[in-house]
Structure 1
Amino acid sequence: MNISATNIILHSLNYNTEGVLECTKREGELPISPSIEQFLTKIHSTYQSKTNKAFASFREETGQPQVFQQALQQEMKGELDFVSFSQTAVDCLVEELQKQDFAEQGILLISKYSWTASDYLLIALLQNNESISVNENLELTNSQHLETSKIQLVTRIDLTLLSRSPESNRYLSFIKGRVGRQVSDFFLDFMGAQEGFDAKVQNQVLMKAVEEFCEKEALPVEKKQEVREVAFEYCKEQLKQGEDIELATLSEQMQEAPKLEGSFYDFVSEDYQLEQNFPADRSVMRKLTKYVGQGGGVSISFDQKHLGDRIQYDAASDTLTITGIPPNLREQLKRDTTDESSSTASDDESAPF
């Protein structure tokens, strides 16, 4: 599904030979065109596919909104035009960069667009890379292109959610660094935001709740697997549609398809700290229906339904026995063991008596 853009502007951030950050501000918006919307849709899709997103909200340490937040509020009320807002935003970013050791530079993209009944503000620092192409005279020429497939420094604000529920802790999202303080953290700092909602933790708690609900209901193995499949398919569809997991809806589907007596919604409402709705996390939800593990050069993944059937686990010897391995793996094993046998036989024939 394509997005519908209303505003877009670019500003340039570059360090000169003396190591001083220079900012070139554009004085007017880019005109919206099909190619611009296609470009923004590509960035939007890349961002949607990221699994390491985190959520945040604005902080008000002194009771007053900070510069970026105040400018955004004025823009949303129509008191500040989009160009002026974007220039204030880039000033805030430059000020924060000057405090850090990160030598980040590139093209700062700021855009407003609509998608699935919500309005968003997207801010991304894109790398302006050089590439070589061939012109009509078959000559090599240098050109610049914006990298849209590997964006890391990006944040998105759900303006609809911010207007409707300013007390929310999840209207702002960003790509989170994996370990320690990462470059992406200064994106929060320049906006005066703080991390709040953790979607991955919510998904992990949900997976745990599904398993413990099955245990509480004393479901047989087949019924457990059916419950997991229903939960997985629902979460997968929500992720595909870009929609949140709704606990009430998930509970209804779990109760209807496997015909359960107990209510999953009532169960999680008692002891689990789960939001009523939250984004699905692909890396977590796949564990509903699969066993996955790796280490020591071995990586194993298989559907849970095969345990006790095609796959047997002996806890005493810490051994997995697989019956009916995948055909492509079988062919590789046959080929390599045949080659090894032939090599051994050849060595034996040439060995002296």
Structure 2
Amino acid sequence: MNLDINQIALHQLVKSGDSVLDMVLRDSLLPSNNRVVQEMMVELHRVYSAKNKAYGQFNEDSEFANAFKRCRKGNDDFLSFTRRATAGLRDELIKYPFAESGVLLFCQYRHLATEYLLIAFLNSCNSMRVDEQLDLSITHHLDINHVDIVARVDVTEWETNNESKRYLTFLKGRVGRKVSDFFMDFLAASEGGDTKKQNRDLLQAVDDYCAEANLDKEQKQAYRQQVYSYCNEQQQADECIELKQLSEALPVFNEKNLQQFSTEQGYDIADSFPADRPTLRQLTKFSGSGGGLNINFDALLLEKRIFWDAATDTLTIKGTPPNLRDQLKRCLG
């Protein structure tokens, strides 16, 4: 992966009481050309790029944004900027009952033609290690694969497009814990749009477009599959869905493409917006859970192996998966 680290700093917050977080601040930056440092950032970039993200922007009075601007202009050095930012995060985090110890990472890096500033709060995990003498010991490692307190600034977009509202991305917190709230307060940023709604509106426009074109079931599903393939590729590449680009890649019906249709019908779909994987899955799969049932199947199976009777609300499945069939046989004798 072509990833060039410019500057990277690590600091630590250590919980020493019910509402006390001590800071452990580094006196120097990490060496950007160190192999371990580079491998860590490549993995963090990969993990973050694969996650569903919300988009936002800095508030006008964001001290974090203003401090980074001073750093970019050479009026402050990167290490001092990160040390003060760590103190700011500590002051914000102690307001919440779920405050825990962790490592705060700041990294300014370039991937392809884009420059980024990534800020992540990483937890540590214990694991077992076997040494050269085949003795076991406990070691600590950063839990990068499960990082969920992280934000990234597209510095290139931020500095070149004054109208942009999506140069900042972040992960929303887990249900029941306002994890993202304190991080957004720390950054003094706000969400710049409803990603799920944009994706839902796209799906509705696709279905209505297929209906207006009088596509049969196979044609409609093939069209939905093409939409999903494009959106999935964009999501995997950490790129936004471009409505114009998507429309040009799809078949045209009734002499107007999907973008023209959505504009005529008054859909409030942005020209560019991030992909939301759970929403997009509805293009190719049916799924639902409740009452002890959890059902998930490919849309192509509907009316071939799976049939729904709306009058009786009955789902009939012809040909069960072998492992399910074996369980049923064992259970029912």
Q: What is the TM-score with the length of structure 1 in the denominator?
A: 0.86
Partner of 1:351: none
Cα distance between partner residues in 1 of 2:254 and 2:330: 49
Q: CA deviation at 1:266?
A: 0.7
Cα distance between partner residues in 1 of 2:125 and 2:315: 48
The one-letter amino acid of 2:324's match is L
Partner of 1:303: 298
Cα distance between partner residues in 2 of 1:162 and 1:48: 18
Cα distance between partner residues in 2 of 1:29 and 1:186: 26
Partner of 2:50: 49
Partner of 2:319: 324
The one-letter amino acid of 2:315's match is L
Question: Does residue 232 in structure 1 map to residue 228 in structure 2?
Answer: yes
Q: CA deviation at 1:249?
A: 1.3
Question: Does residue 127 in structure 1 map to residue 127 in structure 2?
Answer: no
- 1:89-124 Cα deviation digits (max 9, x unpaired): 112212222433342321111101122421111111
Matches within 5 A, 1:139-288: 139-179=135-175, 182-255=178-251, 261-270=255-264, 271-288=266-283
Cα distance between partner residues in 1 of 2:56 and 2:241: 18
Matches within 5 A, 1:39-118: 39-51=40-52, 53-60=53-60, 65-118=61-114
1:136 to 117, 132, 136: 132
Q: CA deviation at 1:48?
A: 2.1
Distance 1:144 1:302, change over 3 A: closer
Secondary structure of 2:214's partner? coil
Distance 1:107 1:96, change over 3 A: same
Q: Which segments of 5 or more consecutive residues in structure 2 lack a partner in the other structure?
A: none
- 1:180-203 Cα deviation digits (max 9, x unpaired): 660221111111111222222211
Cα distance between partner residues in 1 of 2:170 and 2:270: 19
Q: CA deviation at 1:29?
A: 0.8
Q: CA deviation at 1:20?
A: 2.7
Partner of 1:37: 38
Answer yes or no: is the 8 Å Cα contact 1:92–1:191 preserved in 2: no
Answer yes or no: is the 8 Å Cα contact 2:8–2:29 preserved in 1: yes
Distance 1:102 1:318, change over 3 A: closer
Q: CA deviation at 1:276?
A: 0.9
Q: CA deviation at 1:18?
A: 7.7
Answer yes or no: is the 8 Å Cα contact 1:54–1:199 preserved in 2: yes
Answer yes or no: is the 8 Å Cα contact 2:247–2:258 preserved in 1: yes
Q: CA deviation at 1:82?
A: 1.2
Distance 1:15 1:321, change over 3 A: closer
Cα distance between partner residues in 1 of 2:305 and 2:216: 18
Cα distance between partner residues in 2 of 1:67 and 1:16: 27
Q: CA deviation at 1:137?
A: 3.3
Answer yes or no: is the 8 Å Cα contact 1:71–1:88 preserved in 2: no
Partner of 1:347: none
- 1:281-308 Cα deviation digits (max 9, x unpaired): 2111110121111212222222223222
- 1:227-256 Cα deviation digits (max 9, x unpaired): 111101111121222222110111112226
The one-letter amino acid of 1:329's match is L
Partner of 1:13: 13
Q: CA deviation at 1:269?
A: 2.0
Answer yes or no: is the 8 Å Cα contact 2:172–2:179 preserved in 1: no
Q: CA deviation at 1:139?
A: 3.6
Cα distance between partner residues in 1 of 2:139 and 2:151: 27
Q: CA deviation at 1:162?
A: 0.6
Q: Which segments of 5 or more consecutive residues in structure 1 lack a partner in the other structure?
A: 341-353
Cα distance between partner residues in 2 of 1:139 and 1:239: 44
Cα distance between partner residues in 1 of 2:193 and 2:3: 25
Cα distance between partner residues in 2 of 1:164 and 1:250: 25
Answer yes or no: is the 8 Å Cα contact 1:232–1:288 preserved in 2: yes
Cα distance between partner residues in 2 of 1:165 and 1:242: 19
The one-letter amino acid of 2:187's match is M
Distance 1:66 1:289, change over 3 A: closer
Q: Percent identity?
A: 43
Cα distance between partner residues in 1 of 2:230 and 2:320: 29
